[in-house]
Protein backbone atom coordinates (compact mmCIF):
# COMPACT_ATOMS: atom_id res chain seq x y z
CA UNK A 1 0.00 0.00 0.00
CA UNK A 2 1.26 3.49 -0.90
CA UNK A 3 1.59 6.05 1.87
CA UNK A 4 0.16 8.76 -0.39
CA UNK A 5 -1.83 9.23 -3.56
CA UNK A 6 0.64 11.96 -4.52
CA UNK A 7 4.00 13.16 -3.27
CA UNK A 8 5.05 16.55 -4.57
CA UNK A 9 8.80 17.20 -4.55
CA UNK A 10 9.36 20.93 -4.20
CA UNK A 11 7.30 23.55 -2.38
CA UNK A 12 7.46 26.49 -4.79
CA UNK A 13 4.71 27.97 -6.98
CA UNK A 14 4.34 24.68 -8.86
CA UNK A 15 4.80 22.38 -5.88
CA UNK A 16 2.60 23.90 -3.21
CA UNK A 17 -0.14 24.76 -5.70
CA UNK A 18 -0.13 21.23 -7.12
CA UNK A 19 -0.23 19.75 -3.62
CA UNK A 20 -3.19 21.90 -2.59
CA UNK A 21 -5.12 21.14 -5.78
CA UNK A 22 -4.63 17.40 -5.27
CA UNK A 23 -5.81 17.71 -1.67
CA UNK A 24 -8.90 19.58 -2.88
CA UNK A 25 -9.63 16.55 -5.06
CA UNK A 26 -9.70 14.39 -1.92
CA UNK A 27 -6.25 12.85 -2.38
CA UNK A 28 -3.80 12.04 0.37
CA UNK A 29 -0.84 14.31 -0.32
CA UNK A 30 2.65 15.08 0.96
CA UNK A 31 4.94 17.90 -0.10
CA UNK A 32 8.70 17.59 0.34
CA UNK A 33 10.73 20.82 0.52
CA UNK A 34 14.39 21.14 1.45
CA UNK A 35 14.36 24.87 2.12
CA UNK A 36 11.07 26.59 2.88
CA UNK A 37 7.52 26.58 1.56
CA UNK A 38 7.05 29.06 -1.24
CA UNK A 39 10.24 28.19 -3.10
CA UNK A 40 12.50 30.72 -4.75
CA UNK A 41 9.64 32.94 -5.91
CA UNK A 42 8.22 33.67 -2.50
CA UNK A 43 11.40 33.52 -0.42
CA UNK A 44 14.14 34.71 -2.77
CA UNK A 45 12.50 36.05 -5.91
CA UNK A 46 9.17 37.49 -7.00
CA UNK A 47 7.82 38.64 -3.65
CA UNK A 48 10.81 40.13 -1.78
CA UNK A 49 12.03 41.88 -4.93
CA UNK A 50 8.65 43.58 -5.32
CA UNK A 51 8.98 44.82 -1.75
CA UNK A 52 12.39 46.32 -2.54
CA UNK A 53 11.11 47.85 -5.78
CA UNK A 54 8.19 49.50 -3.98
CA UNK A 55 10.65 51.03 -1.52
CA UNK A 56 12.66 52.35 -4.47
CA UNK A 57 9.60 53.77 -6.22
CA UNK A 58 8.36 55.57 -3.09
CA UNK A 59 11.81 57.04 -2.39
CA UNK A 60 12.26 58.19 -6.00
CA UNK A 61 8.78 59.69 -6.10
CA UNK A 62 9.41 61.74 -2.98
CA UNK A 63 12.96 62.70 -3.90
CA UNK A 64 12.43 63.63 -7.55
CA UNK A 65 8.76 64.49 -7.85
CA UNK A 66 7.59 65.60 -4.41
CA UNK A 67 7.65 69.27 -5.35
CA UNK A 68 5.38 68.56 -8.35
CA UNK A 69 2.73 67.41 -5.89
CA UNK A 70 3.27 70.39 -3.60
CA UNK A 71 5.05 68.27 -1.02
CA UNK A 72 8.10 69.85 0.56
CA UNK A 73 10.57 67.46 2.14
CA UNK A 74 13.79 68.44 3.84
CA UNK A 75 16.52 65.99 4.83
CA UNK A 76 14.98 63.01 3.04
CA UNK A 77 17.02 59.87 3.79
CA UNK A 78 16.64 56.12 4.15
CA UNK A 79 17.79 53.23 6.33
CA UNK A 80 19.21 50.41 4.21
CA UNK A 81 18.80 47.71 6.85
CA UNK A 82 15.10 48.51 7.21
CA UNK A 83 14.59 48.43 3.44
CA UNK A 84 16.10 44.94 3.31
CA UNK A 85 14.34 43.94 6.52
CA UNK A 86 10.91 44.88 5.20
CA UNK A 87 11.31 42.58 2.20
CA UNK A 88 12.28 39.69 4.47
CA UNK A 89 9.25 40.26 6.70
CA UNK A 90 6.93 40.14 3.70
CA UNK A 91 8.50 36.88 2.49
CA UNK A 92 8.41 35.33 5.97
CA UNK A 93 4.75 36.16 6.41
CA UNK A 94 3.75 34.59 3.11
CA UNK A 95 5.87 31.47 3.69
CA UNK A 96 4.10 30.98 7.00
CA UNK A 97 0.81 31.39 5.19
CA UNK A 98 1.61 28.53 2.83
CA UNK A 99 2.44 26.29 5.78
CA UNK A 100 -1.00 27.16 7.19
CA UNK A 101 -2.58 26.23 3.86
CA UNK A 102 -0.86 22.83 4.07
CA UNK A 103 -2.42 22.29 7.49
CA UNK A 104 -5.82 23.48 6.30
CA UNK A 105 -5.76 21.03 3.40
CA UNK A 106 -4.33 18.17 5.50
CA UNK A 107 -1.13 17.98 3.46
CA UNK A 108 1.88 16.40 5.12
CA UNK A 109 4.76 18.88 4.93
CA UNK A 110 8.06 17.01 4.96
CA UNK A 111 11.25 19.05 5.34
CA UNK A 112 14.37 17.60 3.75
CA UNK A 113 16.15 16.83 0.51
CA UNK A 114 14.34 14.38 -1.75
CA UNK A 115 15.71 11.59 -3.91
CA UNK A 116 13.63 9.57 -6.35
CA UNK A 117 15.36 6.21 -6.88
CA UNK A 118 12.40 4.72 -8.76
CA UNK A 119 8.78 5.32 -9.61
CA UNK A 120 6.53 5.44 -6.57
CA UNK A 121 9.31 6.02 -4.03
CA UNK A 122 10.66 9.24 -2.51
CA UNK A 123 13.55 9.13 -0.07
CA UNK A 124 13.98 12.15 2.20
CA UNK A 125 17.09 13.17 4.11
CA UNK A 126 16.37 15.72 6.84
CA UNK A 127 18.72 18.41 8.15
CA UNK A 128 20.17 15.97 10.72
CA UNK A 129 20.98 13.38 8.06
CA UNK A 130 18.13 11.07 9.04
CA UNK A 131 16.60 9.24 6.06
CA UNK A 132 13.00 8.19 5.56
CA UNK A 133 11.21 6.47 2.67
CA UNK A 134 7.75 7.35 1.43
CA UNK A 135 5.63 5.62 -1.19
CA UNK A 136 3.10 7.19 -3.51
CA UNK A 137 0.87 6.22 -6.38
CA UNK A 138 2.12 9.29 -8.26
CA UNK A 139 4.97 11.76 -7.89
CA UNK A 140 5.07 15.35 -9.12
CA UNK A 141 8.55 16.84 -9.51
CA UNK A 142 8.57 20.61 -9.03
CA UNK A 143 12.12 21.28 -7.89
CA UNK A 144 12.66 24.41 -9.97
CA UNK A 145 15.93 26.06 -10.87
CA UNK A 146 18.93 27.85 -9.36
CA UNK A 147 20.77 30.96 -10.48
CA UNK A 148 23.42 30.22 -13.08
CA UNK A 149 26.98 31.31 -12.43
CA UNK A 150 29.17 32.97 -15.03
CA UNK A 151 31.94 30.46 -15.93
CA UNK A 152 35.15 31.34 -14.14
CA UNK A 153 33.41 33.90 -11.94
CA UNK A 154 31.81 31.93 -9.06
CA UNK A 155 29.57 33.50 -6.46
CA UNK A 156 31.40 34.39 -3.26
CA UNK A 157 28.51 36.05 -1.44
CA UNK A 158 30.30 39.37 -1.21
CA UNK A 159 31.72 40.87 -4.39
CA UNK A 160 30.20 38.36 -6.84
CA UNK A 161 26.55 37.64 -6.12
CA UNK A 162 23.34 36.27 -7.59
CA UNK A 163 19.82 37.50 -7.02
CA UNK A 164 19.45 35.62 -3.74
CA UNK A 165 22.47 37.34 -2.19
CA UNK A 166 21.35 40.70 -3.62
CA UNK A 167 18.11 40.46 -1.63
CA UNK A 168 19.94 40.39 1.70
CA UNK A 169 23.01 42.45 0.87
CA UNK A 170 24.02 44.00 4.19
CA UNK A 171 25.75 47.06 2.81
CA UNK A 172 24.60 49.09 -0.15
CA UNK A 173 27.21 48.97 -2.92
CA UNK A 174 28.60 52.31 -4.08
CA UNK A 175 29.09 50.84 -7.53
CA UNK A 176 27.58 47.67 -9.00
CA UNK A 177 27.96 45.94 -12.35
CA UNK A 178 24.98 43.85 -13.43
CA UNK A 179 25.68 41.17 -16.03
CA UNK A 180 22.47 40.34 -17.88
CA UNK A 181 19.57 42.64 -18.77
CA UNK A 182 16.63 40.29 -18.47
CA UNK A 183 13.84 40.99 -15.97
CA UNK A 184 15.99 40.17 -12.92
CA UNK A 185 18.95 42.26 -14.01
CA UNK A 186 16.81 45.25 -14.93
CA UNK A 187 14.75 45.14 -11.73
CA UNK A 188 17.88 45.16 -9.58
CA UNK A 189 19.43 47.88 -11.76
CA UNK A 190 16.41 50.09 -11.07
CA UNK A 191 16.45 49.28 -7.35
CA UNK A 192 20.12 50.00 -6.68
CA UNK A 193 20.14 53.10 -8.89
CA UNK A 194 17.10 54.51 -7.10
CA UNK A 195 19.06 54.65 -3.86
CA UNK A 196 22.15 56.19 -5.42
CA UNK A 197 24.39 53.26 -6.33
CA UNK A 198 26.30 53.76 -9.57
CA UNK A 199 24.90 51.03 -11.84
CA UNK A 200 26.30 49.59 -15.06
CA UNK A 201 24.33 46.93 -16.98
CA UNK A 202 26.09 44.65 -19.48
CA UNK A 203 23.98 42.78 -22.03
CA UNK A 204 25.09 40.62 -24.99
CA UNK A 205 21.90 41.16 -26.99
CA UNK A 206 21.11 44.32 -28.98
CA UNK A 207 18.43 45.35 -26.47
CA UNK A 208 17.66 45.06 -22.77
CA UNK A 209 14.73 42.76 -21.97
CA UNK A 210 15.51 40.88 -25.21
CA UNK A 211 12.29 38.83 -25.17
CA UNK A 212 10.10 41.93 -25.15
CA UNK A 213 8.86 43.95 -28.11
CA UNK A 214 11.80 45.91 -29.52
CA UNK A 215 10.00 49.26 -29.30
CA UNK A 216 9.28 48.65 -25.63
CA UNK A 217 12.89 47.64 -24.92
CA UNK A 218 14.26 50.75 -26.65
CA UNK A 219 11.83 52.99 -24.75
CA UNK A 220 12.78 51.43 -21.41
CA UNK A 221 16.49 51.71 -22.16
CA UNK A 222 16.12 55.45 -22.80
CA UNK A 223 14.15 55.86 -19.57
CA UNK A 224 16.66 53.98 -17.44
CA UNK A 225 19.56 55.84 -19.03
CA UNK A 226 17.81 59.12 -18.18
CA UNK A 227 17.54 57.87 -14.59
CA UNK A 228 21.32 57.49 -14.51
CA UNK A 229 21.90 53.82 -15.32
CA UNK A 230 24.76 53.07 -17.71
CA UNK A 231 23.62 50.42 -20.19
CA UNK A 232 26.01 48.56 -22.49
CA UNK A 233 24.15 46.45 -25.07
CA UNK A 234 25.78 44.33 -27.80
CA UNK A 235 28.53 43.89 -25.24
CA UNK A 236 30.33 40.71 -24.16
CA UNK A 237 32.17 39.97 -20.96
CA UNK A 238 35.72 39.07 -21.95
CA UNK A 239 37.50 38.82 -18.61
CA UNK A 240 36.49 38.78 -14.96
CA UNK A 241 38.48 38.99 -11.76
CA UNK A 242 37.97 39.76 -8.11
CA UNK A 243 40.15 42.35 -6.41
CA UNK A 244 40.76 43.61 -2.90
CA UNK A 245 38.25 46.37 -3.57
CA UNK A 246 35.66 44.30 -5.46
CA UNK A 247 35.61 43.24 -9.09
CA UNK A 248 37.26 44.15 -12.38
CA UNK A 249 35.46 43.18 -15.60
CA UNK A 250 36.69 43.69 -19.15
CA UNK A 251 33.95 44.00 -21.76
CA UNK A 252 33.92 44.43 -25.51
CA UNK A 253 31.20 46.15 -27.51
CA UNK A 254 31.47 49.40 -29.38
CA UNK A 255 34.78 49.66 -27.55
CA UNK A 256 36.76 47.47 -25.18
CA UNK A 257 36.81 48.81 -21.65
CA UNK A 258 37.53 47.67 -18.12
CA UNK A 259 34.84 48.24 -15.51
CA UNK A 260 35.44 48.26 -11.77
CA UNK A 261 32.94 48.10 -8.92
CA UNK A 262 32.61 46.82 -5.38
CA UNK A 263 29.96 44.27 -6.44
CA UNK A 264 29.01 42.31 -9.55
CA UNK A 265 25.52 40.86 -9.79
CA UNK A 266 25.29 37.97 -12.25
CA UNK A 267 21.82 37.63 -13.81
CA UNK A 268 22.46 35.53 -16.91
CA UNK A 269 19.82 32.86 -16.37
CA UNK A 270 19.13 29.69 -14.43
CA UNK A 271 20.08 26.01 -14.24
CA UNK A 272 17.74 23.07 -13.49
CA UNK A 273 17.69 21.57 -10.01
CA UNK A 274 17.08 17.84 -10.45
CA UNK A 275 16.24 15.50 -7.56
CA UNK A 276 18.91 12.94 -6.76
CA UNK A 277 18.50 9.52 -8.30
CA UNK A 278 15.85 10.54 -10.82
CA UNK A 279 16.49 8.90 -14.17
CA UNK A 280 14.22 10.42 -16.81
CA UNK A 281 14.64 11.85 -20.30
CA UNK A 282 16.06 15.36 -20.31
CA UNK A 283 16.25 18.23 -22.79
CA UNK A 284 19.28 20.48 -22.14
CA UNK A 285 19.13 19.43 -18.51
CA UNK A 286 15.40 20.06 -18.06
CA UNK A 287 12.86 17.27 -17.58
CA UNK A 288 10.98 16.28 -20.72
CA UNK A 289 7.26 15.68 -20.30
CA UNK A 290 4.48 14.54 -22.60
CA UNK A 291 1.15 16.29 -23.15
CA UNK A 292 0.00 15.02 -19.74
CA UNK A 293 3.10 16.38 -17.94
CA UNK A 294 4.27 12.79 -17.41
CA UNK A 295 7.99 12.04 -17.65
CA UNK A 296 9.55 9.01 -19.33
CA UNK A 297 9.21 7.25 -15.96
CA UNK A 298 5.61 6.13 -15.64
CA UNK A 299 3.81 7.63 -12.67
CA UNK A 300 6.32 10.46 -12.30
CA UNK A 301 5.19 13.88 -13.53
CA UNK A 302 6.88 17.28 -13.63
CA UNK A 303 5.77 20.91 -13.77
CA UNK A 304 7.16 24.41 -13.33
CA UNK A 305 10.64 25.71 -14.00
CA UNK A 306 12.18 22.23 -13.94
CA UNK A 307 10.54 21.45 -17.32
CA UNK A 308 12.09 24.53 -18.95
CA UNK A 309 11.11 28.03 -20.05
CA UNK A 310 9.29 30.25 -19.52
CA UNK A 311 10.62 30.43 -15.95
CA UNK A 312 7.66 32.25 -14.42
CA UNK A 313 5.80 31.58 -11.17
CA UNK A 314 2.35 32.01 -12.67
CA UNK A 315 3.20 29.60 -15.48
CA UNK A 316 4.50 27.07 -12.93
CA UNK A 317 1.27 27.22 -10.92
CA UNK A 318 -0.83 26.77 -14.05
CA UNK A 319 1.23 23.78 -15.14
CA UNK A 320 0.96 22.14 -11.72
CA UNK A 321 -2.82 22.44 -11.67
CA UNK A 322 -3.02 21.04 -15.21
CA UNK A 323 -0.73 18.14 -14.29
CA UNK A 324 -2.64 17.23 -11.13
CA UNK A 325 -6.08 17.46 -12.70
CA UNK A 326 -4.84 15.39 -15.62
CA UNK A 327 -3.18 12.65 -13.58
CA UNK A 328 -6.35 12.15 -11.52
CA UNK A 329 -8.69 12.24 -14.52
CA UNK A 330 -10.45 15.53 -13.81
CA UNK A 331 -9.61 17.22 -17.12
CA UNK A 332 -7.36 16.74 -20.12
CA UNK A 333 -4.24 18.78 -19.36
CA UNK A 334 -3.33 21.82 -21.39
CA UNK A 335 0.18 22.98 -22.12
CA UNK A 336 1.06 26.64 -21.77
CA UNK A 337 0.64 28.76 -24.89
CA UNK A 338 -0.37 32.30 -23.90
CA UNK A 339 1.08 33.82 -20.75
CA UNK A 340 1.96 37.31 -19.46
CA UNK A 341 5.51 38.45 -18.83
CA UNK A 342 6.18 41.29 -16.39
CA UNK A 343 9.13 43.41 -15.30
CA UNK A 344 8.58 45.56 -12.23
CA UNK A 345 11.08 48.39 -12.71
CA UNK A 346 9.74 51.90 -13.27
CA UNK A 347 8.28 52.32 -15.79
CA UNK A 348 6.88 48.81 -15.62
CA UNK A 349 6.82 46.48 -18.62
CA UNK A 350 4.17 43.85 -19.32
CA UNK A 351 3.33 41.79 -22.39
CA UNK A 352 1.32 38.84 -23.64
CA UNK A 353 1.29 37.10 -27.01
CA UNK A 354 3.41 37.95 -30.03
CA UNK A 355 5.81 40.84 -30.36
CA UNK A 356 5.74 42.87 -33.56
CA UNK A 357 9.08 41.25 -34.40
CA UNK A 358 7.65 37.73 -34.01
CA UNK A 359 4.55 38.56 -36.06
CA UNK A 360 6.78 39.70 -38.93
CA UNK A 361 8.94 36.60 -38.66
CA UNK A 362 5.82 34.43 -38.89
CA UNK A 363 4.73 36.28 -42.00
CA UNK A 364 1.41 37.30 -40.43
CA UNK A 365 -0.71 40.10 -41.76
CA UNK A 366 -1.28 42.57 -38.94
CA UNK A 367 -1.63 46.18 -37.94
CA UNK A 368 -0.59 48.08 -34.83
CA UNK A 369 -2.70 50.15 -32.47
CA UNK A 370 -0.80 52.36 -30.05
CA UNK A 371 -1.84 54.86 -27.41
CA UNK A 372 0.63 56.95 -25.36
CA UNK A 373 0.06 57.56 -21.65
CA UNK A 374 0.93 61.23 -22.19
CA UNK A 375 -2.58 61.50 -23.68
CA UNK A 376 -4.20 59.76 -20.69
CA UNK A 377 -5.92 62.01 -18.16
CA UNK A 378 -5.34 59.52 -15.34
CA UNK A 379 -1.64 59.18 -16.17
CA UNK A 380 -1.19 62.95 -16.18
CA UNK A 381 -3.12 63.30 -12.92
CA UNK A 382 -0.91 60.74 -11.19
CA UNK A 383 2.28 62.19 -12.65
CA UNK A 384 3.12 58.94 -14.42
CA UNK A 385 2.67 59.64 -18.12
CA UNK A 386 5.67 57.80 -19.53
CA UNK A 387 5.09 54.92 -21.95
CA UNK A 388 2.29 53.47 -24.07
CA UNK A 389 -0.06 50.59 -24.82
CA UNK A 390 0.68 48.74 -28.05
CA UNK A 391 -1.59 46.13 -29.65
CA UNK A 392 -0.59 43.73 -32.43
CA UNK A 393 -3.83 43.12 -34.31
CA UNK A 394 -4.42 40.35 -36.86
CA UNK A 395 -5.99 41.10 -40.19
CA UNK A 396 -8.61 40.86 -41.54
CA UNK A 397 -10.50 39.75 -38.41
CA UNK A 398 -9.04 42.10 -35.79
CA UNK A 399 -8.00 39.49 -33.23
CA UNK A 400 -5.35 40.40 -30.65
CA UNK A 401 -2.07 38.67 -31.54
CA UNK A 402 -0.01 40.42 -28.91
CA UNK A 403 -0.13 43.25 -26.40
CA UNK A 404 2.68 45.32 -24.91
CA UNK A 405 2.53 47.95 -22.20
CA UNK A 406 5.26 50.13 -20.76
CA UNK A 407 4.24 52.54 -18.03
CA UNK A 408 2.81 52.81 -14.56
CA UNK A 409 0.78 49.78 -13.45
CA UNK A 410 1.49 47.98 -16.73
CA UNK A 411 1.72 44.68 -14.86
CA UNK A 412 -1.81 45.15 -13.49
CA UNK A 413 -3.27 46.12 -16.86
CA UNK A 414 -1.99 43.17 -18.89
CA UNK A 415 -4.56 40.65 -17.55
CA UNK A 416 -7.37 42.17 -19.64
CA UNK A 417 -5.38 41.53 -22.78
CA UNK A 418 -4.47 37.98 -21.80
CA UNK A 419 -8.18 37.30 -21.35
CA UNK A 420 -8.88 38.91 -24.72
CA UNK A 421 -6.41 36.59 -26.44
CA UNK A 422 -7.80 33.51 -24.67
CA UNK A 423 -11.35 34.46 -25.68
CA UNK A 424 -10.21 35.36 -29.22
CA UNK A 425 -11.67 38.83 -28.70
CA UNK A 426 -11.31 41.44 -31.43
CA UNK A 427 -10.40 45.09 -31.20
CA UNK A 428 -14.03 45.88 -31.99
CA UNK A 429 -15.07 44.02 -28.83
CA UNK A 430 -12.40 45.71 -26.70
CA UNK A 431 -13.19 49.11 -28.17
CA UNK A 432 -16.89 48.48 -27.67
CA UNK A 433 -16.42 47.72 -23.97
CA UNK A 434 -16.94 50.79 -21.79
CA UNK A 435 -13.82 51.41 -19.72
CA UNK A 436 -14.13 53.58 -16.62
CA UNK A 437 -12.88 57.15 -16.84
CA UNK A 438 -10.39 58.24 -15.71
CA UNK A 439 -8.33 55.05 -15.62
CA UNK A 440 -5.10 53.84 -17.15
CA UNK A 441 -7.00 50.89 -18.64
CA UNK A 442 -8.83 53.34 -20.91
CA UNK A 443 -5.58 53.36 -22.86
CA UNK A 444 -6.25 49.75 -23.89
CA UNK A 445 -9.58 50.83 -25.37
CA UNK A 446 -7.92 53.80 -27.05
CA UNK A 447 -5.20 51.58 -28.53
CA UNK A 448 -7.88 49.36 -30.05
CA UNK A 449 -9.49 52.45 -31.60
CA UNK A 450 -6.06 53.58 -32.82
CA UNK A 451 -5.63 50.30 -34.70
CA UNK A 452 -8.73 51.25 -36.72
CA UNK A 453 -7.51 54.82 -37.21
CA UNK A 454 -10.14 56.49 -35.04
CA UNK A 455 -8.65 56.99 -31.58
CA UNK A 456 -10.41 59.92 -29.91
CA UNK A 457 -7.65 61.39 -27.76
CA UNK A 458 -4.65 61.32 -30.10
Segments making up each domain of the chain, as ranges: 4-147+271-327, 160-266, 347-451
Strands of 267-365 (E only): list them. Answer: 270-272, 282-283, 286-287, 300-302, 340-343, 348-353
Q: How far apart are CA 202 and CA 179, in angstroms?
A: 5
What was the pLDDT predicted at 401?
Answer: 98
Judged against a pLDDT cut of 90, whether residue 423 lies above it is answered with yes
Q: How far apart are CA 302 and CA 294, in angstroms?
A: 6
CA angle 247, 182, 394 (to 5 degrees): 165
Q: Is 410 helix (H, G, I), strand (E, B) or coil?
A: helix
Beta bridge partners of 32: 9, 110
Q: Of all helices (H) and strands (E), which one includes residue 313?
A: helix 313-327
44 band by pLDDT with thresholds 50, 70 and 90: confident
What number is the average pLDDT over the span 141-149? Answer: 96
Q: Of all helices (H) and strands (E), which one includes residue 33?
A: strand 29-33
What number is the average pLDDT over the span 215-226? Answer: 98
Report the chain's mean pLDDT, rounded to a whole number. 96
Q: Is 321 helix (H, G, I), strand (E, B) or coil?
A: helix
* pLDDT tens-digit readout, 159-176: 999 999 999 999 999 999
Match domain 160-266 to its CATH number in 3.60.10.10, 3.40.50.80, 3.50.50.60, 3.40.710.10.
Answer: 3.50.50.60
Among positive and negative, which fits the CA dihedral 396, 398, 403, 405? positive
What was the pLDDT predicted at 2?
Answer: 81
Q: At what angle do helices 80-104 and 15-24 cross, to 10 degrees?
A: 30
* pLDDT tens-digit readout, 15-33: 999 999 999 999 999 999 9
Q: How far apart are CA 36 and CA 231, in angstroms?
A: 35
Among positive and negative, which fits the CA dihedral 310, 313, 316, 318? negative
Per-residue buried b or exposed e for 151-172, using 16+ beta carbons within 10 Å of the residue's own CB = eebebeeebbbbbbbbbebeeb
Match domain 4-147+271-327 to its CATH number in 3.20.20.140, 3.30.70.3270, 3.40.50.1000, 3.50.50.60.
Answer: 3.50.50.60
Beta bridge partners of 306: none
Instruction: Check: CB of residue 159 under 8 Å from CB of residue 265.
Output: no
Q: How far apart are CA 320 and CA 192, in angstroms?
A: 34
Q: Of all helices (H) and strands (E), which one includes residue 5?
A: strand 4-9
- Considering the domain 347-451, what is its CATH architecture? 2-Layer Sandwich (3.30)
Residue in 164, 154, 159, 156 with CA at minimum distance from that of residue 175: 159
Q: How far apart are CA 234 and CA 341, in angstroms?
A: 23
Q: Of all helices (H) and strands (E), which one includes residue 380?
A: helix 377-381
* Binding-site annotation, residues for FAD: 50
What was the pLDDT predicted at 251?
Answer: 98
CB half-sphere exposure, 416, CA atoms < 13 A:
22
Q: Which long-range contacts (CB under 8 A, 24 or more apart) does 441-445 make?
A: 441/413, 441/416, 442/376, 442/378, 443/371, 443/373, 443/376, 443/379, 443/388, 443/389, 443/413, 444/371, 444/389, 444/391, 444/403, 444/413, 444/416, 444/417
Residue in 367, 281, 287, 354 with CA at minimum distance from that of residue 319: 287
Per CATH, 4-147+271-327 and 160-266 having the same topology is answered yes
Q: Report, as residue numbers or ranges, the catalytic residues.
A: 437
Residue in 439, 222, 422 with CA at minimum distance from that of residue 340: 422
What was the pLDDT predicted at 1?
Answer: 67
Q: How far apart are CA 264 and CA 251, in angstroms?
A: 13
Judged against a pLDDT cut of 90, whether residue 40 lies above it is answered with no
What number is the average pLDDT over the span 42-46? Answer: 88
What number is the average pLDDT over the span 241-261? Answer: 96
What was the pLDDT predicted at 176?
Answer: 98
Q: How far apart are CA 141 and CA 229, in angstroms?
A: 40
Judged against a pLDDT cut of 90, whether residue 119 lies above it is answered with yes
Q: How far apart are CA 8 and CA 19, in angstroms?
A: 6
* pLDDT tens-digit readout, 81-106: 999 999 999 999 998 999 999 999 99
260 band by pLDDT with thresholds 50, 70 and 90: very high
Q: How far apart are CA 325 and CA 302, in angstroms?
A: 13
Amino acid sequence: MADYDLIVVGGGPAGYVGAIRAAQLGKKVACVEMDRAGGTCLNWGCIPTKSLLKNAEVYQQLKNHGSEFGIKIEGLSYEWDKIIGRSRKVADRLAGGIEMLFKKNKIDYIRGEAAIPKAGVVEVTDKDGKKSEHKAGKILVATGVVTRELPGFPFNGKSVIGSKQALVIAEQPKEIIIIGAGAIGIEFAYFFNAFGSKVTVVEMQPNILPVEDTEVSVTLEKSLAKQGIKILTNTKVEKTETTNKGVRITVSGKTTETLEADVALVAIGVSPLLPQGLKVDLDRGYIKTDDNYETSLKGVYAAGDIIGPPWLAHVASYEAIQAVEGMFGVTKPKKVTVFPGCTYCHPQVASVGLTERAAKEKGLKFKVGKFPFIASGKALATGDSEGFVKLIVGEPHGEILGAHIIGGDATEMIAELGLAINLEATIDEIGGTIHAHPTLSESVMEASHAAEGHAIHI
